[in-house]
Homo-oligomer: A and B are copies of this chain.
Protein backbone atom coordinates (compact mmCIF):
# COMPACT_ATOMS: atom_id res chain seq x y z
CA UNK A 1 0.00 0.00 0.00
CA UNK A 2 1.22 3.50 -0.74
CA UNK A 3 -0.11 6.93 0.06
CA UNK A 4 -2.18 7.25 -3.11
CA UNK A 5 -4.23 4.16 -2.30
CA UNK A 6 -7.80 4.74 -1.13
CA UNK A 7 -9.27 3.21 2.00
CA UNK A 8 -13.03 3.59 1.92
CA UNK A 9 -15.30 3.56 4.95
CA UNK A 10 -19.00 4.30 5.43
CA UNK A 11 -20.81 5.97 8.33
CA UNK A 12 -22.51 3.49 10.69
CA UNK A 13 -24.54 6.21 12.41
CA UNK A 14 -24.64 9.85 13.47
CA UNK A 15 -23.48 11.35 16.77
CA UNK A 16 -25.84 13.93 18.26
CA UNK A 17 -24.77 16.40 20.90
CA UNK A 18 -25.62 19.84 22.20
CA UNK A 19 -22.49 21.16 20.49
CA UNK A 20 -23.62 22.80 17.29
CA UNK A 21 -20.75 25.26 16.85
CA UNK A 22 -17.27 24.01 16.24
CA UNK A 23 -15.63 26.83 18.17
CA UNK A 24 -17.76 26.16 21.24
CA UNK A 25 -17.42 22.40 21.37
CA UNK A 26 -15.71 21.37 24.60
CA UNK A 27 -12.14 20.17 24.45
CA UNK A 28 -11.84 16.60 25.75
CA UNK A 29 -15.00 15.08 27.16
CA UNK A 30 -13.49 13.95 30.45
CA UNK A 31 -13.52 17.54 31.70
CA UNK A 32 -17.22 18.19 30.99
CA UNK A 33 -20.58 16.61 31.76
CA UNK A 34 -22.17 17.14 28.35
CA UNK A 35 -24.56 14.44 27.16
CA UNK A 36 -25.55 13.25 23.73
CA UNK A 37 -26.64 10.19 21.82
CA UNK A 38 -25.68 8.03 18.88
CA UNK A 39 -28.26 7.22 16.27
CA UNK A 40 -26.93 3.95 14.88
CA UNK A 41 -28.18 3.03 11.41
CA UNK A 42 -30.59 0.17 11.99
CA UNK A 43 -28.64 -2.40 9.94
CA UNK A 44 -25.92 -2.33 12.60
CA UNK A 45 -28.08 -2.85 15.70
CA UNK A 46 -27.20 -6.58 16.04
CA UNK A 47 -23.58 -5.50 16.59
CA UNK A 48 -24.57 -3.84 19.90
CA UNK A 49 -25.19 -7.21 21.61
CA UNK A 50 -23.37 -7.40 24.99
CA UNK A 51 -22.12 -3.80 24.73
CA UNK A 52 -24.41 -2.43 27.42
CA UNK A 53 -22.40 -3.89 30.31
CA UNK A 54 -19.45 -1.64 29.55
CA UNK A 55 -19.27 1.70 31.35
CA UNK A 56 -17.14 3.41 28.68
CA UNK A 57 -16.86 3.09 24.93
CA UNK A 58 -14.35 4.28 22.35
CA UNK A 59 -15.82 6.18 19.41
CA UNK A 60 -14.01 6.63 16.11
CA UNK A 61 -15.65 9.19 13.85
CA UNK A 62 -15.09 11.43 10.85
CA UNK A 63 -14.32 15.10 11.53
CA UNK A 64 -16.79 16.24 8.89
CA UNK A 65 -16.04 19.93 9.51
CA UNK A 66 -12.30 19.56 9.14
CA UNK A 67 -11.07 22.31 6.87
CA UNK A 68 -8.21 20.30 5.38
CA UNK A 69 -4.96 18.66 6.32
CA UNK A 70 -2.21 20.55 8.13
CA UNK A 71 1.10 19.10 9.32
CA UNK A 72 2.13 21.92 11.65
CA UNK A 73 -0.32 24.04 13.64
CA UNK A 74 -1.15 25.44 17.04
CA UNK A 75 -3.25 23.25 19.38
CA UNK A 76 -6.60 24.41 20.78
CA UNK A 77 -6.10 27.09 23.45
CA UNK A 78 -2.38 27.34 22.86
CA UNK A 79 -2.02 29.76 20.02
CA UNK A 80 1.57 30.58 20.90
CA UNK A 81 3.30 27.43 19.77
CA UNK A 82 3.04 25.47 16.58
CA UNK A 83 3.30 21.71 16.88
CA UNK A 84 3.31 18.65 14.65
CA UNK A 85 -0.22 17.46 13.90
CA UNK A 86 0.56 13.96 15.24
CA UNK A 87 1.40 15.46 18.65
CA UNK A 88 -1.95 17.25 18.96
CA UNK A 89 -5.62 16.28 18.65
CA UNK A 90 -6.74 18.96 16.20
CA UNK A 91 -9.20 17.86 13.48
CA UNK A 92 -7.23 19.22 10.50
CA UNK A 93 -5.28 15.97 10.07
CA UNK A 94 -4.08 14.01 7.02
CA UNK A 95 -6.91 11.55 7.76
CA UNK A 96 -9.60 13.37 9.74
CA UNK A 97 -10.45 10.59 12.15
CA UNK A 98 -11.61 11.57 15.61
CA UNK A 99 -11.17 9.49 18.76
CA UNK A 100 -13.14 9.92 21.98
CA UNK A 101 -13.72 7.85 25.08
CA UNK A 102 -17.28 8.53 26.27
CA UNK A 103 -19.48 7.29 29.09
CA UNK A 104 -22.03 4.69 28.01
CA UNK A 105 -25.31 5.68 29.68
CA UNK A 106 -27.79 3.34 28.04
CA UNK A 107 -28.89 1.58 24.87
CA UNK A 108 -32.43 1.43 23.51
CA UNK A 109 -32.76 -0.20 20.11
CA UNK A 110 -30.57 1.92 17.80
CA UNK A 111 -30.12 4.83 20.24
CA UNK A 112 -27.02 4.86 22.46
CA UNK A 113 -27.00 7.50 25.19
CA UNK A 114 -23.53 8.84 25.93
CA UNK A 115 -21.92 11.25 28.41
CA UNK A 116 -18.69 13.28 28.59
CA UNK A 117 -19.17 14.20 24.95
CA UNK A 118 -16.69 16.45 23.14
CA UNK A 119 -18.09 15.77 19.67
CA UNK A 120 -19.87 18.13 17.30
CA UNK A 121 -23.55 17.47 16.58
CA UNK A 122 -24.09 15.62 13.30
CA UNK A 123 -20.70 13.89 13.23
CA UNK A 124 -20.62 10.64 11.20
CA UNK A 125 -19.67 7.62 13.33
CA UNK A 126 -17.20 5.05 11.98
CA UNK A 127 -16.75 2.54 14.80
CA UNK A 128 -17.56 1.69 18.40
CA UNK A 129 -15.16 -0.37 20.52
CA UNK A 130 -15.47 -1.36 24.18
CA UNK A 131 -13.12 0.47 26.54
CA UNK A 132 -11.36 -2.25 28.53
CA UNK A 133 -9.38 -1.05 31.53
CA UNK A 134 -6.64 -3.67 31.29
CA UNK A 135 -6.17 -3.02 27.55
CA UNK A 136 -6.45 0.75 27.46
CA UNK A 137 -5.13 2.05 30.73
CA UNK A 138 -1.49 3.13 31.03
CA UNK A 139 0.50 4.15 34.08
CA UNK A 140 3.80 6.05 34.07
CA UNK A 141 2.89 8.18 31.13
CA UNK A 142 4.88 11.13 29.85
CA UNK A 143 2.47 13.65 28.35
CA UNK A 144 5.01 15.55 26.24
CA UNK A 145 4.08 19.20 25.76
CA UNK A 146 0.67 18.79 27.46
CA UNK A 147 1.46 20.24 30.86
CA UNK A 148 -0.73 20.93 33.83
CA UNK A 149 -1.19 24.62 32.86
CA UNK A 150 -2.64 23.55 29.54
CA UNK A 151 -5.01 21.07 31.16
CA UNK A 152 -6.15 23.78 33.58
CA UNK A 153 -6.78 26.12 30.62
CA UNK A 154 -8.99 23.46 29.01
CA UNK A 155 -10.96 22.85 32.20
CA UNK A 156 -11.47 26.61 32.67
CA UNK A 157 -12.54 27.11 29.09
CA UNK A 158 -15.05 24.24 29.19
CA UNK A 159 -16.49 25.57 32.46
CA UNK A 160 -16.97 29.11 31.14
CA UNK A 161 -20.46 29.91 29.79
CA UNK A 162 -20.43 30.02 26.01
CA UNK A 163 -21.08 33.76 25.68
CA UNK A 164 -18.21 34.63 28.00
CA UNK A 165 -15.58 32.43 26.41
CA UNK A 166 -12.65 34.31 25.01
CA UNK A 167 -12.77 33.02 21.49
CA UNK A 168 -9.42 34.47 20.62
CA UNK A 169 -7.98 31.71 22.76
CA UNK A 170 -9.79 29.03 20.80
CA UNK A 171 -7.59 29.06 17.73
CA UNK A 172 -8.96 27.04 14.89
Give A contacts to B, CB under 8 Å.
1-12, 14, 28, 30, 41, 43-44, 46-58, 60, 62, 64, 71-72, 82-89, 93-95, 97, 99, 101, 124, 126-138, 140-146, 151
Contact = CB atoms under 8 A, between A and B. Distances in A.
A7 B124 contact: yes
Contact of A93 (B71, B127, B134): B127
Given A10-B7, A62-B7, A84-B51, A28 B135 contact: yes
B10 A48 contact: no
B30 A135 contact: yes
B49 A84 contact: yes
A54 B55 CA distance: 27
**Chain multiplicity (copies):** 2
B146 A130 contact: yes
Contact of A130 (B6, B88, B94, B137): B88
B97 A60 contact: yes
Nearest to A130: B87
8 nearest interchain CB pairs? Answer: A49-B84, A53-B144, A55-B142, A54-B144, A86-B128, A51-B87, A47-B71, A9-B95
